[in-house]
A and B are shown apart, each in its own frame.
Chain A
Amino acid sequence: MNSFSCFDVRELLAYSDECLFAPTMTTTKELWENALVELELSISKPNFNTWFKDTHIVRVEDGTVSLGVPSQFARDWLSAKFHKDILHSLRTLSESVRTVEYVISRGPKRTGEEGRVIPPPPTELPLESVHQKSNLNPRFTFETFVVGPFNELAHAAAQAVVRKPGIAYNPLLVYGPTGLGKTHLIQAIGNHFRVSAPERKVYYVTSEKFSMDYVSSLQAGKVQSFKEKYRQYDLLIMDDVQFLAGRDKIKEEFFHLFNYLHDSNKQLVFSSDQHPNVIQNLEDRLKSRFSAGMIVSVTPPDHQSRLAIIRTKAAAHNFYLTDEVLEYLATTIEGNVRELEGALNTLMIQFEMRGQPLTVNDAKTLLRGAGGTTKKAVSVQEVVKTIANFYGVEEGSIYEKTRRKEVVRPRQVIMFLLREDFKISFPTIGEKLGGRDHTTVIHSCDKIKNDIRGDSVLSNEIHQIRLMLK
C-alpha cells in the first residue's frame, strides 16, 4: 500500500485539530496520526477511508484513550471490528494506553461552538432588531454617564431634550475635544428616547456614514429614497458634523434635511469637535442654523471628576483599586476619558494575571509613558510658525522689532500660549522672540488673558490654535 492512501483522512484530521486545545493536543494529535499510519497498513483502503474519517482523540486519561467518532454507525463498527487493531497500534506507540473508548463527537471544531446555548434566530426571519433599526449602541445610556462640572451643562441640556423633544433645544449641538463622552451623551439621548417613546423613530448616524449613504444613493440613482429615509425620523442624531465641512453637495443635502426636520419639529442632535463657528469651510447658513438651538461644550474633566470616573468604571468591572492608585491615575492622566479607560484596562489585565492588588509603584511602571502622551514637546519655532500661519503673517516678522498691529496680536498670543501651555519662563520667552524684555512678555500674557474673557473671537482662535498644536 502506498503512502498516499490515507492522505485524505489525515488531512482532515490536521484540519479539524488546529489550534484549539492546550499543548497536549499536539501530542494526542500526533499519537493518533501515527496510529493511523499503522492502522492503514492492516486495513483495506475503503474500510480505512470510510471508518477512520473524522476521527480524533478527544482526551487521554489514566491510560484510557477517548476516541471521537462522527456517528453511532462508526462507534458500533469501530468497537466491533477494529477495536483490537486500534488498541494494538496505540499501545505500540504509547505504553501507558490501557483501553480505548469511543465517544460520538463531531470533532474539536464543532465542540468549540457548542458553548452557545441558543444561536441567534434566523437572521432573515426576525429581520431587524430595535438596535439595528436605530443604529444605537445600547451600552451608551444616561445611567452609565458620569456627570461632573466639566459636562453638567451638556448633560442638563440632553436631559431637557429628552423631556421635551423638538421643543426644548432644537438642534442640540455638543462640542468638545475627543474622548470626553460626546458620543456617549448623544447616543444616551437616543437610547432614552427609544425606551420612552418606542413608536417614534430614532436614528444615529455619523456624518461619515451619512455622506457615504448619500454618495451610494447618487450612484444607484436613488436620491429620493435617501431623502425619504432620513426624513422619516423623529429624532436624528448625527455624530462628528465637522466632517461635513468642505463637501458641497453633501452639505447642501444636509441643509435641506436639517430644514425639513427642524420645520416639522423633529429633534436634531449633533456633535462636533469644535464650535461650529470655527469649523472651516462651513457655510454661514449652516453655522447660524446650528446656533439657533443650543450649543454646549464638554471640557476635559477636572481632578475630582476624573476620580469619580475611574471609580465608576472600575466598579462596573468589579475591580478594586486602592485610593492611592486612584489618586495616582487621576493626577497623571489628565487627558480625556478614553485614556483613563485605557489605563484602567491595562491595570485590570495586570491584576487578573497577578491575582494580587496593585500598588502605586506597579501602576507607575505599567503606565509609564501613558501620562506623557498628552503633552507633546513642541519647539518654540514650531509654535511661532503655526501661529504665524494661522494669522497669515510672516514668521520672520514675529521676531522683528515691529509694532504693526497685525503682528502684535499674534506675537502676544504666542507669548501667552508659550507661557500657559508650555510653562516657559517669561525671560526665556522674551529672549527667544527677538530679545524682548520679560516685562513685555508679562504684559502680553496678562492682556490676552483679560481679552479672552470678553472676546469670543479671540477665545475661539486660541482654542483652534491649541488643537493645531496638539
Chain B
Amino acid sequence: MKFETQLETLQAASLSVGRFSERKANLPVLGCILLTTEGNKLVLRATNLECGVEVVIPAKIINEGIVAVPAATLSGFLGNGRGKTVSAQLSGEVFKIETERASASIKTLSHEDFPILPRVSAERSFKVKAADIVRAIRSVAYCASLSAIKPELQSVLLYGDAGKLITVATDSFRLAEKTVPLRSTGTVPQMLLPARNAAELMRILEGASGDAEFYYNDNQLSIQHNSTYYTSRLLDGAFPNYRQILPKSFSTEAVVLREDMGSALKSLSIFADKFAQVVLSIDPSKKALLLSSRNPDVGEQISTVKAAIEGAQVSVSFNGRYLADSLQAISGDSVRLHSNGPGKAMLIKDASDDSFQYLAMPMNR
C-alpha cells in the first residue's frame, strides 16, 4: 500500500474518524482507524460498535492496500504535522508516514479483525439540511437522561410529522422538542437514537452545509453527507407519549428578554442551594419577573427582569440549571414563559419562533 494526499484533509479526516475508535475495547483493533484505498480515493473508517463513521478523501493511490493504524498515534502525529502533502506506505507490519518535516513508522494491527460497518439499504430514507439536524440535536440532546433505568430516555427521539422532522429528549424532569423542516416527502417513523451517538453525529456534521441523507431500518440509522458516512444503532423501545403531557392552555404568560433572564440565572446560580433551587415569580402588578435563590451558607439574591405579562400572579420554584439550559437552545432575543401555577410544569418557548419548546417540572418544596 502506498499513497499521497493533502495533509490538511487527512488531518481533519483522521481527527473526526478517530473519535469513534475505542482504545479500551476487548478487541484491540477497535482502537484503530482502518485505511483502505479505493480507486483514487482513500477511505478512513472507525467504530466503537455502537456507531461507526467512514470518511472518503481524494488521494493519489500508488499501490492498493488496507491497514489498521492505532487512531491515537495516527491523529496525534498528523495533528502536529506541517506542510502541504503527506505520503504513506505500508511495509510489512509497519506503516510509514511522512510529512514535510517529520516521518514516522507506526506499528499496525491485523486488519482482518476490523468489523464491517453496517450498511442500510436506501429504501427507507429522508433528507434534512445538515445544519438543521445539528441544530435540532443541539437543542434537545442535553435533556436526555443519564440514568440507565429507562434506556428509552437515554436517547433522542426522531420522527417526521407533516413535512417536519421532530426531535425530542427528556429525562422526565424536563423535556425539549425541536422541529426542523424535512427536505424530502414521505413519512418518518419514530426512531430512538442513543443520546451519545446523537452527540457524535452532531459533531461530525458541525459546520457542514447542504443536505444530509438519512437511511434507516428497524435497528440502524445511517447518514450520508458528501464524503462522510455515519451509522448508529437504534434503541428498541417505545418513547413515552410525551404530547399528552404538553399543556394546552395557561393561566399566566410572560415575555422576557433572553439575555436578561440568562444573566439573572447565571448570577443566581452563585447563591443557589445544592438543588439549584430558583424561585420564579411572575408579578403582573410590577410588570416583572422576580427570580430569587437562597443558600443558607452563602446568602441570597433577588433579580428583577422586566417582562410583558398576561394573566395572574404566580410563583413557582425550579431547578435553575433546567431553566438556564432551555435558554441556550433559543436563538431569538425574547423568551416566552407559560405557566399554570405552582406544582405545574412550565412551558418555555422562543417568542418569535415556534419550532422549539421546553417543558420544565417545578421542584417540590
> A residues engaging B (CB < 8 A)?
46-47, 49-50, 71-77, 80, 104, 106, 110, 114, 116-127
Residues A50 and B175 in contact, CB atoms below 8 Å apart: no
* B357 CB → nearest A CB, Å: 13
Across the interface, name the chain A residue whose C-beta is closest to B175: A125
Q: Which chain A residues border B220 with CB–CB below 8 Å?
A: 71-72
Does B336 lie at the interface of the complex (its beta carbon under 8 Å from any beta carbon of A)?
Answer: no
Judge if B359 is at the interface, Cβ distance under 8 Å.
yes
- Stretch in contact with the other chain, from B25-33, B132-140, B248-256, B325-333: B25-33
A73, A114, A125, A127: which contacts B170 (Cβ < 8 A)? A125
Whether the pair A49, B361 counts as a contact (CB closer than 8 A) is: no
Give me the interface of B with A, judged by CB distance under 8 Å. 25-28, 30, 47, 49-50, 52, 113, 115-118, 150, 152-153, 170-173, 175, 218-220, 233, 236-238, 240-242, 244-245, 343, 345, 359, 361
User: Taking A46-B28, A47-B27, A73-B52 as contacts, is the C-beta distance between A122 and B118 under 8 angstroms?
Assistant: no
B236, A123: Cβ atoms under 8 Å?
no
A71 to B242 CA separation, bound complex (whole angstroms) = 27
Bound complex: CA A77 to CA B47 (Å): 13
**Is A46's CB under 8 angstroms from B26's CB?**
yes
Quick one: which of A72, A110, A119 has the most chain B CB within 10 A? Answer: A72
Distance, CA A328 to CA B70, complexed state (A): 82
In the assembled complex, which residues on chain A have CB atoms less than 8 Å from the CB atom of B30?
50
Known: A72-B220, A110-B236, A124-B172. 8 other contacts (CB 8 A): A50-B26, A50-B30, A75-B118, A118-B241, A120-B240, A121-B245, A125-B170, A126-B245
Q: Which chain A residues lie closer than 8 Å to B28 at the CB level?
A: 46
A77 touches B116 (CB 8 A): yes
- The answer to whether B27 touches A50 (Cβ under 8 A) is yes
Closest chain B residue to A77 by CB distance?
Answer: B115
CA distance A77 to B245 in the complex (A): 42
Question: Can you show 24 pairs from A to B with CB atoms below 8 A apart?
Answer: A47-B113, A50-B25, A50-B27, A50-B30, A71-B50, A71-B118, A72-B118, A73-B49, A73-B52, A73-B115, A77-B115, A104-B218, A106-B236, A114-B236, A117-B238, A118-B240, A118-B241, A121-B244, A122-B171, A122-B172, A123-B172, A125-B175, A127-B343, A127-B361
Tell me the interface secondary structure of chain B in the complex: loop
What residues of chain A lie closer than 8 Å to B52, measured between beta carbons? Answer: 73
Q: How far is the CA of A124 from the CA of B345 in the complex (A)?
A: 10
**Which residues of chain A have C-beta atoms less than 8 A from B233's C-beta?**
71-73
Q: Which residues of B contact A73 (CB under 8 A)?
A: 47, 49, 52, 115-118, 233
CB distance from A367 to the nearest CB of B (A): 44
A311 CB to nearest B CB, Å: 38
> What's the Cα separation between A74 and B26 when bound, in Å?
14
Closest 8 CB pairs of A and B: A122-B172, A72-B118, A121-B240, A50-B27, A124-B172, A126-B245, A49-B26, A46-B27
Contacts known (A73-B47, A73-B49, A76-B115); A121 close to B238, Cβ less than 8 A: no
Q: How close is A140's CB to chain B, nearest CB, in angstroms?
A: 26
Contacts of B245 in A (CB 8 A): 121-122, 125-126
Asked if A71 and B219 sit within 8 Å, CB to CB, the answer is yes
Kindly provide the distance from the CB of B231 to the nearest chain A CB, expressed in whole angstroms: 8
Q: Is the CB of A119 within 8 A of B152?
A: yes
CB distance from A115 to the nearest CB of B (A): 11
Q: How far is the CB of B122 from chain A (nearest CB, A)?
A: 16
CB neighbours (8 Å) of B171 from chain A are 122
A71 adjacent to B173 (CB under 8 Å): no
A75 neighbours in B (Cβ, 8 Å): 118
**What's the minimum C-beta distance from B170 to chain A, rounded to whole angstroms?**
6
Q: B116 and A76: CB pair below 8 A?
A: yes
Q: Is the CB of B116 within 8 A of A125?
A: no
Chain B neighbourhood of A127, CB < 8 A: 343, 345, 361
Complex: A122 Cα to B150 Cα, angstroms? 9
Residues of A within 8 A of B218 (CB): 104
Q: How far is the CB of B151 from chain A (nearest CB, A)?
A: 9
Bound-state CA distance A104–B233 (Å) is 11
Chain B residues near A125 (CB-CB < 8 A): 170, 172-173, 175, 242, 245, 345, 359, 361
**Distance to closest chain B CB from A113 (angstroms):** 8
Whether B241 pairs with A122 at a CB distance below 8 angstroms is no
- What residues on A are CB-neighbors of B117 within 8 Å? 73
Which B residue's beta carbon lies closest to that of A73?
A: B49
Q: How far is the CB of A145 from chain B (nearest CB, A)?
A: 31
Least CB separation from B153: chain A residue: A122
Minimum CB–CB distance for B31 against chain A, Å: 11
A118 and B152 CA atoms in complex are apart in Å by 11
Cα distance A104–B175 in the bound complex, in angstroms: 30
CA distance A102 to B246 in the complex (A): 41
CA distance A118 to B237 in the complex (A): 9
Which chain A residue has the least Cβ–Cβ distance from B246? A125
Contacts of A72 in B (CB 8 A): 118, 219-220, 233
Interface centre among B115, B171, B241, B361 (most CB of A within 10 A): B115
User: In the bound complex, how far is the Cα of B172 from the Cα of A74, in angstroms?
Assistant: 32
